[in-house]
Chains A and B, each alone.
Chain A
Amino acid sequence: MAGFLGLLRRDLQLALRQGGEIGLVLGFFVLAVVLFPFGVGPELEILRRIGAGIVWVAALLAAVLSLDRLFAADYADGSLDQIALVALPLEMAVIAKCAAHWVTTGLPLIVVSPLLAVLVDLDPAAIAVLIAGLAIGTPALSLFGAIAAALTLGARRPGVLSSLLVLPLYLPTLIFGTGAVEAALTGAGPRAHLLLLGAVTLAALPIATLAAAAALRQALD
């Protein structure tokens, strides 16, 4: 437990000291959403119709861009070898790193999302469902992202490659996250979608942990 918390604290401290990185992710998130009114036209009816999708897709892309922060720096300077050598199981280390990644990527996205929901003129009832969906779904983004980040350690063009690998894994989260907002707007109730979203995140926990740890062991061989 001490090792887990220590690793978590270390990653959080490192990320917060380089505060610019969190700002970059948020900046990209906002910019990606702002691009859409320029692309599809400023009519609020259209933006409202696709608003949840815009916010979710932008959140996905921002998460994908932040993945290289997960393992690459530690792999490059040898800290990953040290992490693999301590008594903490590598799977728990992966969870600790994903938790730190979520606090520095997912959580800021959730905090900023109401502002962006206003930019796309989303219904007030839908904004709450959007925030809830992001809160449930962004841990899955960090977890599935860890698989791609671990697999591409030492590869050529790791950034582009991990985006290609991880986006199919993000699809269930995206589908249920936007589906929840749709259901809230049509009156069918977002409960089913949010529960399925939670199921995807919970399923991501063992799958991503095992796969990422296996990939890290291969990279450290």
Chain B
Amino acid sequence: MINRLANPARFMRVSGRALPWFGAVTALSLALGLYLALLVAPADYQQGETVRIMFVHVPAAWLALQTYLFVAIASAVALVWRHPLAEIAAQAAAPVGAAFTIVCLATGSLWGRPMWGTWWVWDARLTSVLVLLFLYLGYMALVNAFDDASRGARAGSVLALVGVVNLPIIKFSVDWWNTLHQPASLMRRGGPAIDASMLVPLLTMAAAFTLLFVWLLLVRMRTALNERKARALRQLAPGSRLAEPDAAPDRGAQPAMR
């Protein structure tokens, strides 16, 4: 399927048809997840209602990691197989991943203030997630630092692969350093340590966030491809109104291109 969708025109057709459905499913799953998280899930016996931040904080953290993995894999595909859409996919996903990371850090900070008594602590996991944010920002800065867009894309691909070493550090940081952030509750030997009444809303929110990521990714990729098309058209018709999109429309004259 990845090879079939390598043709940008076919990708635009398929994604254009799929996008409204994806949007609807995303909205529904977000609504369901929020309903479960805010109304159905029980309050924690120690933390009270504040525990509901977990249903946003943890899925955001998972998506931040998953998105970076997606960026790294797309970069590898771009470097090795030169898939035409791989670089576009990586560049489309990076700001979404950075946003998830910021949401994770912000909600974690808001959760930590009542729970731990501090907005921030230089705990291993918080520090490595902050480093993840810097990796995202560095990737976006590098891609946009070149006048030649394809050179920027290729440089960004190498950088994304170098930074992937941070992902296992984040995952295992709570095992290697026993500091403030709690250790793993889900992906551990012995199975999840969370009761089903909280596990189900958590996994629903995680699925909803994943669908949100896919929807945002498709929208951003389509936008990027449309921008490319617009740029190419402008170069094909210099001197026409299309070539100067910011110029005031000349109501009297005939347009050079329809």
Give the B-binding residues of A (Cβ under 8 A). 147, 151-152, 154-158, 161, 164-165, 167-169, 171, 207, 211, 214-215, 218-219, 221
Contact = CB atoms under 8 A, between A and B. Distances in A.
Contacts of B142: 151-152, 155, 161, 165
Q: Which 3 A-B pairs have the closest CB atoms?
A: A155-B145, A165-B138, A218-B154
B162 A156 contact: no
Given A151-B159, A154-B146, A211-B162, 7 more contacts: A151-B155, A156-B147, A158-B145, A164-B134, A164-B138, A165-B138, A171-B131
A218 B134 contact: no
Given A156-B146, A168-B166, A151 B158 contact: yes
Interface SS of chain B: helix
B76 to A, nearest CB: 12
A29 B83 CA distance: 45
A161 B141 contact: yes
Contacts of A154: 146, 148, 151
B110 interface: no
B216 interface: no
B159 A168 contact: no
Contacts, number: 58
A218 B137 CA distance: 21
Interface SS of chain A: helix
Interface residues of B, number: 23
A167 B166 CA distance: 13
16 contacts: A152-B145, A154-B146, A154-B151, A155-B142, A155-B145, A157-B145, A158-B145, A161-B141, A165-B159, A167-B134, A168-B134, A168-B138, A168-B163, A207-B162, A218-B151, A218-B155
Contacts of A171: 131
A53 B163 CA distance: 24
B161 interface: yes
A214 B76 CA distance: 12
Contacts of A221: 151
